[in-house]
Structure 1
Amino acid sequence: MSNPPNPSPTRWFKALRRTRLGEPCMKTYPLECVELLKSARAAFQAGRTAKKSFRLAQLEALVRMLVEHEWDFVDALGRDLHKPRFETVVSELIPVKNEAFHAITNLRKWMLPQCMERDLTTTTLDDCLVLNEPLGVVFIIGAWCSPVQLCLVPLVGANAAGNCAIVNPPETTSYTAEILHRLIPSCLDNECFHVILAGMNDLAEIVELKFDHVFFIGNREEGSKVAQSAARMLTPVTLVLGGKNPCYVDKQCNVTTTAHRIAWARFHNAGQSVVAPDYILCHVAIKEQLVQALKCSLMQFYGSNPRGSRSFGRMVNAESFHRTRELLSKSGKVALGGQVVEAEKYIAPTILTEVVESDPIMLQDVFGPVLPILTMTDVDEAITFINKQEKPLCLYAYSSNNTIISRLMSETSSGSFCSNDSVLQSLMVGLPLGGVGASGMGSYHGHYSFDTFSHRKSCLLRSTRFECVTYLRYPPYDDHNLTLMTWASTLSQKSQGWCQIM
């Protein structure tokens, strides 16, 4: 499959960049976004998204869109990322379908009010409920590494929770952005769901238009700018940020299987993934075996000439190509790969050894087909190394020793953890995906997406009976009434389960 270079920002991106000459003090916003937000706000306030039947219909329409336009997505991602059809279907389309099917199956249960336990301040006639109500109009900012999945999985959650949404696909993957821009309004309700094609430089101003929630997937620098803009408007945010995801390989492991799973996770989509292993912390006793096994895995995956393989992608643009090549040239020793072809934005699957903590490739997110390997004397050294770094989005550990796995899971902090495999935890609808510390805040997937895009409203439904007791709280106050109120309203271990009298 040919991989033409990404076009410069096209007319529909340029049209969103408007300035008012002679008015430097006035903030300007993309007019299209203002109108789309107004339309979505009106649809939400009219109750269009409130009914379960509407939400289910939109989820089903989203699945039909993916099925009927599969080849459009395959073609667009092939142009943007040289992504093979296999990777597009498995890592982009199937995860979105699974999220939609999971939401369709469970939506009725998710929407039900949750009855809460009463305490001593309530009576048997009172009801304590938590209602899940939609937030309103949410803004979803997807990432270019998996632009279909990372735009539409959050959209599934926003839709299931009863919100209207405006989606901003990344301009970096412009062909895919154009497909989403065309299909979402035509396949889903075009008053409730919109797509805006804005560049990263526009996002801070767009966020200040005042949404009810902003969902961002991307790098830390851009996420920080979005969060600051949202904070000025008191808009809640979910941030799923990249990071250097460590992968510890213990001396007690199946080396061949470990190499296959790491190589697949690191080099699919040419290494451009927020959840891929970023570097290996390898037990010194197994390093040579692991390097040899990784070489064998890459030979099986892509052959002796990965450049000619239909299963290997390309860097998304010249900027990413140059950045990755620079990191590669200044770090460690090339054990395999290292070839580059600038005209194709091609960087061969590369393994680096003799890497040290101060190398440039250990100071930045790799986001390319380069895998650095550092050696560790034992798991204690690995845990110390991991805990010195910023908290990652994902942490991986390969070992047949359950004690080693347990220690890495409990003695480190990360957004997610997976043992003896990589990436799969990020595709499971039953597990939340989100960061901690520098790798983000909040989470999504399955029920967690529904929660992210919902407000849990506390509701106490009281009776007017028993006023003969509740009158004790009214003035004028006296010590006798205070004693009775303290006894009646204070929880204790013994009081749990008492019949409520208030």
Structure 2
Amino acid sequence: MATDAPATAQSDATQPAAAHPDVDPTTRERILADVAALRASFDAGTTRPLQARLDQLDALARGVRAERSRLVAALAEDLGKSRTESAITELGVVTAEIAHMRRNLRGWLRPQSFDPGALLAPARGQIRREPLGTTLIIAPWNYPVNLALAPLIGVIAGGNTALLKPSEVAPATSAALAHLVRTHLDPAWVRVVEGGVPETTLLLEQRFDLILYTGNGTVGRIVSRAAAEHLTPVVLELGGKSPVFVDEGTDLAAAARRIVWGKFTNTGQTCIAPDHLMATPRTLTALVPHLRRETLALYGRDPRRSADYGRMVSEKQFDRVLGLIDDDKAVLGGTATADRSARYLPPTILDRVDWDDPVMGEEIFGPVLPLLAVDGPDEAIARIRAGEKPLTAYVFTPRREIEERFAEETSSGSLALGLTLAHVGTPAMPFGGVGESGTGAYHGRASLETFTHAKPVVRKPLHPDTLRLVMPPYRPWKKALLGRLFR
């Protein structure tokens, strides 16, 4: 999120507060028992052997396959996702991540040698990947399978235990995830807690060895404050107003196709969705027909009837995004066909948007794409630099020098040149934000690095005792020698 104001943009959801309703005694006892059991299991060394980690990753893969129909049905109920979209953006990402991790885990865990230096010679050093302990994953509602299970893969690969908290805003998917975990995974490794604010607040009062939260900046601050009580490290996957710049000379038809797909997938409820589009007035005039045409090609004349177009997750989110639409500026969509009872908002494009319009005051997190005129790359870069650092930024240009300028002169969690959205599907790329858009990263090797500690192990034989050189007493000859060594 770019600001604290739209606290509900990425999560209606789990927003723990200092004062909260108490969890009922039975649930409280079960949650505390789950945390204690996971910590006892880690302390017993259950999760340390490599083969045990691989076996649990296999169990997760089997569970995803076995529960595929249940998960797809839940995603359709919560978010209106089609079977194909769920396969691409949710289940497919998870299974690819598991396969990538299994192929590489043994090599990534192999100790890395380093030279401790001449002063310690003779000596040898290694960097070993050490599990952190018991972790807490607080998942969001917008990609409720992907963003719950993808970090879990790294937790398991790192040799940790995990407590998974799905989002109650996607209740059908939360229940399906709970069933998957309880049916297919070893409770010595992973347990799940469902519920809302009271349950999450109780969890945050417990000591974990790492907390991963995906959501918005407001709740991210609450999570960070709670974690600080135990000096627990946090990984925060947040969001922001991810910009798109379309340069003059770009193939506008091809760019428009990728932009509208990235924007309207999951009904715009994507943390890395293009938030707004910048181009010169001349380029915008030429681009609008392409944006309209490509949206029509994807979802038809009536997206409400399209099996591939989703729904807002809740009436609360519907109302929030609806309030950002100025029908006078809509060149596609608008409020006329919106249906609150069905949580349907049409793909909407707003032209001639001003920087101080309400739609630019928060992360949109819905199917609304504002178009803003800039003088060119200089102003686009300046606008990005003037705001909070986004989770990603998108650039469409035929000029390599412009690509390099955005790479060098702007800061974002990632930069995608010539594409939207798809780049986060590769397990080879660390996914994470910077500044207001988050801290820490995961996917592939980055997951293993995030969910382990790089522990240096240094070995030095007792003889010859070369360390006597740096020990008192410091006689004149020794002072002279050390003076040369440490000058």
Query: Which TM-score band applies after superposition, normalised by the shorter structure?
Result: over 0.9
Match of 1:229 among 215, 226, 250: 226
Q: What residue is the counterpart of 1:280 in the other structure?
A: 277
Tell me, in whole angstroms, the C-alpha distance in 2 between the residues paired with 1:156 and 1:245: 27
Offset of residue 185 of structure 1? 2.3
Tell me, in whole angstroms, the C-alpha distance in 1 between the residues paired with 2:470 and 2:55: 50
Offset of residue 200 of structure 1? 3.7
Match of 2:164 among 163, 167, 172: 167
Tell me, in whole angstroms, the C-alpha distance in 1 between the residues paired with 2:318 and 2:59: 37
Q: What residue is the counterpart of 1:18 in the other structure?
A: 22
CA-based RMSD: 1.9
1:105–1:332 distance in 2 versus 1, CA, 3 Å? farther
Tell me, in whole angstroms, the C-alpha distance in 2 between the residues paired with 1:322 and 1:314: 13
TM-score (norm. length: structure 1) = 0.90
Offset of residue 486 of structure 1? 4.0
Tell me, in whole angstroms, the C-alpha distance in 1 between the residues paired with 2:160 and 2:450: 11
Which deviations, in whole Å up to 9, do the C-alpha atoms of 1:440-461 show, x marking residues without a partner? Answer: 1111110001010001111111
Offset of residue 470 of structure 1? 2.5
3-state SS, counterpart of residue 373 of structure 1: strand
Tell me, in whole angstroms, the C-alpha distance in 2 between the residues paired with 1:168 and 1:48: 22
Offset of residue 30 of structure 1? 3.0
3-state SS, counterpart of residue 398 of structure 2: coil
Q: What residue is the counterpart of 1:336 in the other structure?
A: 332
Q: What residue is the counterpart of 1:51 in the other structure?
A: 49
1:57–1:368 distance in 2 versus 1, CA, 3 Å? same
Q: What residue is the counterpart of 2:407 in the other structure?
A: 409
Gapped runs of 5+ residues in structure 1? Answer: 1-7, 10-15, 22-27, 492-502
Residue type at the aligned position of 1:450: L
Q: What residue is the counterpart of 1:3 in the other structure?
A: none
Offset of residue 205 of structure 1? 3.6
Tell me, in whole angstroms, the C-alpha distance in 1 between the residues paired with 2:171 and 2:21: 16
Q: How does 1:469-480 map to 2 (within 5 A)?
A: 469-480=466-477
Tell me if structure 2 keeps the 8 A contact 1:18–1:29. no
Q: What residue is the counterpart of 1:198 in the other structure?
A: 195
Tell me, in whole angstroms, the C-alpha distance in 2 between the residues paired with 1:150 and 1:55: 20
Offset of residue 207 of structure 1? 1.7
Offset of residue 203 of structure 1? 2.6
Tell me, in whole angstroms, the C-alpha distance in 2 between the residues paired with 1:486 and 1:155: 52
Q: What residue is the counterpart of 1:498 in the other structure?
A: none
Q: How does 1:33-112 map to 2 (within 5 A)?
A: 33-112=31-110
Verify: 1:483 aligned to 2:480, yes or no: yes
Residue type at the aligned position of 2:274: P
Q: What residue is the counterpart of 1:500 in the other structure?
A: none
Match of 2:298 among 297, 301, 314: 301
Q: How does 1:394-433 map to 2 (within 5 A)?
A: 394-433=392-431
Offset of residue 17 of structure 1? 6.1
Tell me, in whole angstroms, the C-alpha distance in 1 between the residues paired with 2:124 and 2:220: 41
Gapped runs of 5+ residues in structure 2? Answer: 1-11, 14-19
Q: What residue is the counterpart of 1:386 in the other structure?
A: 384
Q: What residue is the counterpart of 2:17 in the other structure?
A: none
3-state SS, counterpart of residue 346 of structure 1: coil
Q: What residue is the counterpart of 1:12 in the other structure?
A: none
Tell me, in whole angstroms, the C-alpha distance in 2 between the residues paired with 1:176 and 1:17: 24
Q: What residue is the counterpart of 2:356 in the other structure?
A: 358
3-state SS, counterpart of residue 340 of structure 1: coil
1:332–1:242 distance in 2 versus 1, CA, 3 Å? farther
Tell me if structure 2 keeps the 8 A contact 1:171–1:199. yes
Tell me if structure 1 keeps the 8 A contact 2:64–2:180. no
Tell me if structure 2 keeps the 8 A contact 1:276–1:423. yes
Tell me if structure 2 keeps the 8 A contact 1:29–1:206. no
Tell me if structure 2 keeps the 8 A contact 1:92–1:146. yes
Which deviations, in whole Å up to 9, do the C-alpha atoms of 1:326-346 show, x marking residues without a partner? Answer: 1114x8711110131111011
Tell me if structure 1 keeps the 8 A contact 2:245–2:278. yes
Q: What residue is the counterpart of 1:439 in the other structure?
A: 437
Q: How does 1:136-285 map to 2 (within 5 A)?
A: 136-285=133-282
Match of 1:290 among 287, 296, 299: 287
3-state SS, counterpart of residue 162 of structure 1: coil
Tell me, in whole angstroms, the C-alpha distance in 2 between the residues paired with 1:446 and 1:93: 16
Residue type at the aligned position of 2:421: V
Q: What residue is the counterpart of 2:16 in the other structure?
A: none
Offset of residue 487 of structure 1? 3.4
Q: What residue is the counterpart of 2:4 in the other structure?
A: none
Offset of residue 408 of structure 1? 1.0
Q: What residue is the counterpart of 1:321 in the other structure?
A: 318
3-state SS, counterpart of residue 429 of structure 2: coil
Offset of residue 201 of structure 1? 5.0
Offset of residue 115 of structure 1? 0.5
Identity in percent: 35
Moved more, 299-308 or 114-123: 114-123
Residue type at the aligned position of 1:157: G
Offset of residue 55 of structure 1? 0.4
Tell me if structure 2 keeps the 8 A contact 1:30–1:206. no
Tell me, in whole angstroms, the C-alpha distance in 2 between the residues paired with 1:438 and 1:75: 34
Offset of residue 20 of structure 1? 8.1
Offset of residue 215 of structure 1? 0.5
Tell me, in whole angstroms, the C-alpha distance in 2 between the residues paired with 1:20 and 1:91: 36
Offset of residue 197 of structure 1? 0.8
Tell me if structure 2 keeps the 8 A contact 1:29–1:205. no
3-state SS, counterpart of residue 210 of structure 1: coil
Which deviations, in whole Å up to 9, do the C-alpha atoms of 1:133-167 show, x marking residues without a partner? Answer: 00000000111110100000000000000000001
Question: Comparing both chains, which one has the higher relative contact order based on Cα–Cα distances under 8 Å and sequence gaps of 6 or more?
Answer: 2
Tell me, in whole angstroms, the C-alpha distance in 2 between the residues paired with 1:20 and 1:168: 17
Q: What residue is the counterpart of 1:461 in the other structure?
A: 459
Tell me if structure 1 keeps the 8 A contact 2:23–2:199. no
Residue type at the aligned position of 2:130: E
Offset of residue 472 of structure 1? 2.3
TM-score (norm. length: structure 2) = 0.93
Tell me, in whole angstroms, the C-alpha distance in 2 between the residues paired with 1:234 and 1:29: 26
Tell me, in whole angstroms, the C-alpha distance in 2 between the residues paired with 1:66 and 1:319: 30
3-state SS, counterpart of residue 335 of structure 1: strand
Tell me, in whole angstroms, the C-alpha distance in 1 between the residues paired with 2:152 and 2:99: 13
Tell me, in whole angstroms, the C-alpha distance in 2 between the residues paired with 1:332 and 1:375: 17
Tell me if structure 2 keeps the 8 A contact 1:415–1:435. yes
